[in-house]
Chains A and B, each alone.
Chain A
Amino acid sequence: MSPPAASYSAPHLMRRRLRGRLFEWLALASTVVAIVVLALLLLDVLHDGLPRLSWSFLTNYPSRLAARAGIAPALVGSVALIVLTAALALPTGIAAAVWLEEYARRSWLTRVIEVNIANLAGVPSIIYGLLGLGLFVRALNLQRSLLAGALTMALLVLPIIILNTREALRAVPRSQREAAYALGATRSQVVWGVVVPAALPGIFTGIILALSRAIGETAPLIVVGAVAFIAFLPTSPLDPFTVLPIQIFNWVSRPQPAFHANAAAAILVLLVVLLSLNATAIVLRDRARRSLRW
């Protein structure tokens, strides 16, 4: 889209064009800065952490000796936490989104709920940690357990799941719903038999995005859970626990470079997990786009 030839004086035009060129380079540079920083970060982590990655690193327990330390409890803790969080947040989030999108009539209640969810999505995660501490750890006396952590994280990701699911539901064309109604289906049948199955790929994408956010969260779990030394695997939701980001945090805080290498290696594991989750989300999103022929 280049500007047509104009009847301005040549030097004036040249100056404007020059300014435009400079600006374009500036804007490109800004974009590139972010990418360069990302590359630096990844290279730094790879350089520090790759030598440390090994099967024993994945299966060892934390230790006061850096060479002997591993991420087994943290890895298992992260997986257990995500599974529990998903079990708590998914049904609730999807149900809530379905209600808001398919059942609710416009009223003051729905408006309040919508505004509420939008606000909750913007609350700093550490506030959720305080909520978890006051409500789950203390008031409900769950102590610093996996369950308290999962409940806290479930509340944290709930707004994300609701917002994403609503988007997915909204993307299903009205014609699908109307066709079902025309055949005499009740609302529940339309929703659960037609709309939700059609929106499923989009819903999955939202779920995965929410869970990948949850895996990387540190601050609320420090407030709710962290113990400094865990050398066992949690076997019940009421056990003390630790997760990968907290283990990384502990190791970063130690001054010995050997522990920094451990932190970098743990970061690599975390990034690999996240990358796979997000890649799955992208694949699902593409498949959804391709398969849905309206």
Chain B
Amino acid sequence: MLLAVLAAGCAVSDSAAAWQPSVDLTRLRGTIRLDGSSTVFPISEAYAEEFQIAARGSVRVTVGISGTGGGFKKFCHDELDIADASRPISQHEIAECRAQGIAFVELPIAFDGLSVVVSPRNTFVDCLTVSELRTMWQSSAQGVITRWSQVRPGWPDRPFRLFGPGPDSGTFDYFTDAIMGREKDSRGDYTASEDDNVLVQGIANDPYALGYFGYAYYVENQSRLRVVPIDAERGGGCVAPSPETITSGRYQPLARPLFLYAKVAALERPEVREFLRFYLAPENSELIAQTGYVPLPAWAYEAAWQRLERREVGTVFLGRAIEGVTLDDLFGRAPTLPAEP
């Protein structure tokens, strides 16, 4: 069985071979539990798979897709070692973790450009403004705005079908915050799924469908989807997501960082520490590019590792907006926690 895994592992990308573990991985034991964002899932899945292959199965890594909100809930109840998150931890969640005595380190690991997609068979959508997106998606639109002609005059008078992540998803929180201005302010009559693949399936063949999800899912399914450039109505014009526009900050307001939140208590375990070292190794960031997300520059990963080594708990987002975030914002400030109540 292990030989088969090894044989399969030998077909893996060379970047994993370039990284050197600091201890003999095969001597490690234990189970590492990750859960949370379905957007971050492909990244964690890739690292979990490659790490287990490198460790020859001695360490087990499980990755769930409970959604960012669900992941944080489990994280703050001490059911996880690492939470995947597609948005920063909220005040409420910080308080939860504090109440349960969970200390965490915030680790940005990649950039994502939330992509709005339609079917390639859709011939009329060329660009969408933030206002138009708001018209389509806000909660007051439920049952009222149902046809493309209501979004922009001149578009076909046909009903649209919407797809998106469910309300427990960080992607959902981020989208509603960025477009509607209020978290969770969204209509409910759309196909919601934590599994972004389900959404791709629904949109690909339907000329009147529209959906949104993480950039990686768009990239992975490029041949079956068409991405819609977004006009942020701040003078930048219609911008489509790409690695360049996402890192430079031109793709707004839907460019965002993706995070891991690591439990400080778990860092004492050698297998967790080594796994995070593997995850934050700049040599391995090729895995992130493979999934379709945008890796950070090497110095950012080293800064993240330092944060972990020094146990710098807290978040850089206290009292700060979560949109329009740049690398400077992520690493230029020190993480903090709110004052004890």
For A59-71 the 0/1 string (1 means CB < 8 A from B) is: 1110110001010
> Interface centre among A60, A232, A253, A255, by most B CB within 10 Å?
A255
On chain B, the residues within 8 Å of A68 by CB distance are: 8, 11
Q: Which of B31, B49, B60, B197 has a CB less than 8 Å from the CB of A254?
A: B197
Please tell me the size bucket of the interface on B.
20 to 34
Nearest CB of chain B from residue A138's CB, rounded to whole Å: 12
A240 contacts the other chain (Cβ, under 8 Å)?
Answer: yes
Nearest CB of chain B from residue A163's CB, rounded to whole Å: 37
Q: Which of A59, A231, A233, A253 has a CB less than 8 Å from the CB of B198?
A: A253
On chain B, the residues within 8 Å of A255 by CB distance are: 197-198, 200-201, 204, 221, 224
B337 contacts the other chain (Cβ, under 8 Å)?
Answer: no
Report the nearest A residue to B200, measured CB to CB: A255
- Interface of chain B residues 269 through 314 with chain A (CB within 8 A): 291
> Interface centre among A59, A64, A230, by most B CB within 10 Å?
A64
B208 contacts the other chain (Cβ, under 8 Å)?
Answer: no
For B168-198 the 0/1 string (1 means CB < 8 A from A) is: 0000000000000000000000000001011
Nearest CB of chain A from residue B183's CB, rounded to whole Å: 25
A30 contacts the other chain (Cβ, under 8 Å)?
Answer: no
Q: Which of A63, A72, A228, A240 has a CB less than 8 Å from the CB of B41?
A: A228
Report the nearest B residue to A143, measured CB to CB: B79
Nearest CB of chain A from residue B56's CB, rounded to whole Å: 11
Report the nearest B residue to A231, measured CB to CB: B52
Does B4 contact A229, Cβ atoms closer than 8 Å?
Answer: no
8 residue pairs A–B, Cβ–Cβ below 8 Å: A56-B7, A60-B5, A61-B5, A229-B45, A240-B31, A253-B201, A254-B197, A255-B224
For A229-255 the 0/1 string (1 means CB < 8 A from B) is: 111110000001000000000000111
| Dominant secondary structure at the B interface | helix
Does A228 contact B57, Cβ atoms closer than 8 Å?
Answer: no
Report the nearest A residue to B201, measured CB to CB: A255
Nearest CB of chain A from residue B166's CB, rounded to whole Å: 14
On chain A, the residues within 8 Å of B25 by CB distance are: none
Question: Which of B's residues lie within 8 Å of A, judged by CB?
Answer: 1, 4-5, 7-8, 11, 31, 41-42, 44-46, 48-49, 52, 57, 60-65, 195, 197-198, 200-201, 204, 220-221, 224, 291
Q: A72-B1, A232-B60 are in contact. List 5 more A-B contacts (CB 8 A).
A: A228-B45, A228-B64, A229-B44, A230-B62, A256-B221
Nearest CB of chain B from residue A283's CB, rounded to whole Å: 32
Report the nearest A residue to B3, measured CB to CB: A59
On chain A, the residues within 8 Å of B61 by CB distance are: 229, 231
A240 to B62, CA, bound (A): 8
A232 to B51, CA, bound (A): 12
Does A229 contact B5, Cβ atoms closer than 8 Å?
Answer: no
Does A59 contact B64, Cβ atoms closer than 8 Å?
Answer: no
Report the nearest B residue to A64, measured CB to CB: B45
Q: Which of B57, B65, B204 has a CB less than 8 Å from the CB of A232?
A: B57
A3 to B52, CA, bound (A): 75
A282 contacts the other chain (Cβ, under 8 Å)?
Answer: no
Q: Which of A56, A231, A254 has a CB less than 8 Å from the CB of B48?
A: A231
Task: Please list the 6 inter-chain residue pairs (A to B) with the smallest Cβ-Cβ separation, ordered nearest first.
Answer: A229-B63, A255-B201, A59-B4, A255-B200, A254-B197, A232-B60
Q: Which of A60, A64, A227, A256 has a CB less than 8 Å from the CB of B62?
A: A227
